[in-house]
Structure 1
Amino acid sequence: MELSRRANAQLPVPVPIVKTAPPRGKRMLVRMPAWFWLDESQWDARSARAQVGSVWAEATASAFELVIDPGDGSAPFTCDAPGTPYAEGADEGDACTHTFKRSGTYTVRVTANWGADWEGSDGNGGTLPTMGRSTSFPIRVVEARSELIANP
């Protein structure tokens, strides 16, 4: 069991690098969906092995959800996948999106949760505690105003 904990501690589980549409640093619009996603490679399983002599334990972690707290007072929401990269004209479908209802600057917090299992050289194994890796970043949301002009 001690080796399984050591293997778990060595797992290279990354802090998520979140992409958004509109891109971070650009303004987002009120009442327009903001898209959130990770590159597929950030969702790949990770493994680590701890060994003493011929005895070993190997831990394998797999991401299973993204939890996004948009920071605007609405409830956090969960996506079961890394999200869908934005493409012009794309349907929201399975995308991880949030629609901000008011203008302001919000701190978005994204947590990738990872489940892990271990197996040992003696044939034993089991489930390890869920690991969460989080990142936060600001998003500025603005209102777009339009003006109707009579056709001359």
Structure 2
Amino acid sequence: MGTPFGGWIPEGSACIDVTELNPPPSGAEVFSYFQRLPLPQLMTRHQPPGDGLTGLPVIFYTDSPTTQSFTVDIRGFTVVIDATAEQFTWHTGDATGQITTTDPGAPYPDHSIEHSYRSGTYTASLTVTWGATFTVDGGAAADVPGTTTTEGPPVTFAVLQARTVLTNPYD
């Protein structure tokens, strides 16, 4: 404890701007929160359901939500982060590797993502790259500077080869 240098001098009452002591969250600070959000792991759907056939492409899509909104408190500021799935990487489970798209696909007949396989058993999965915008205390929206990814659960299926057999129609 020190010794006071002098007495208190009354100056009156006034408001003091403390904004500089607690500035609004920066994009980099919001990004650190964005990376830790519980973003959904999108499910990989495929058609035909169950086993596929060689010569008939397997259709991939996800019907999981591709947008999500989060409200977080950062140092007393209310920050709303609106996350959007921006890129979908479909891991096909075979030697061809992956298919990257900007749409979540759709089931037949509106499908946009398909892959042909040889006979065998395959495990496919989906990696989603998320981007976001944010607002601070209801202000103007700004882009979160960076992306993050989620890995969806894998799905395993067999691709069978159908063989034609000629039969006598009179038997």
TM-score interval (norm. to shorter): 0.7 to 0.9
Aligned equivalent of 2:68 = 46
Unaligned runs of 5+ in 1: none
Residues 1-152 of structure 1 correspond to what in structure 2 (within 5 A)? 1=26, 4-5=30-31, 7-9=33-35, 11-23=37-49, 26-39=50-63, 42-43=65-66, 45-51=67-73, 52-53=75-76, 55-86=77-108, 90=109, 94-100=111-117, 102-121=118-137, 125-135=142-152, 136-149=154-167, 152=170
Distance 1:95 1:19, change over 3 A: same
Distance 1:30 1:9, change over 3 A: same
TM-score (norm 1): 0.77
The root-mean-square deviation of aligned C-alpha atoms, in Å, is 2.4
Distance 1:132 1:6, change over 3 A: closer
Using the TM superposition, give the Cα deviation of residue 115 of structure 1 relative to its aligned residue in structure 2, in angstroms.
Answer: 1.0
CA contact (8 A) 1:3 1:56 kept: no
CA distance in 2, matches of 1:109, 1:46: 21
CA contact (8 A) 1:66 1:112 kept: yes
CA distance in 1, matches of 2:96, 2:90: 10
Using the TM superposition, give the Cα deviation of residue 7 of structure 1 relative to its aligned residue in structure 2, in angstroms.
Answer: 4.3
Structure 1 outlier segments of 4+, above 3 Å: 9-12, 121-126, 149-152
CA distance in 1, matches of 2:44, 2:111: 17
TM-score (norm 2): 0.69
Among all aligned residue pairs of Structure 1 and Structure 2, give the percentage whose two residues are the same amino acid. 26
Q: Deviations over 1:23-61 (max 9, x none)?
A: 1xx21111211111111x512x212222233x2322211
Using the TM superposition, give the Cα deviation of residue 5 of structure 1 relative to its aligned residue in structure 2, in angstroms.
Answer: 4.0
Greater Rg over alpha carbons, structure: 2
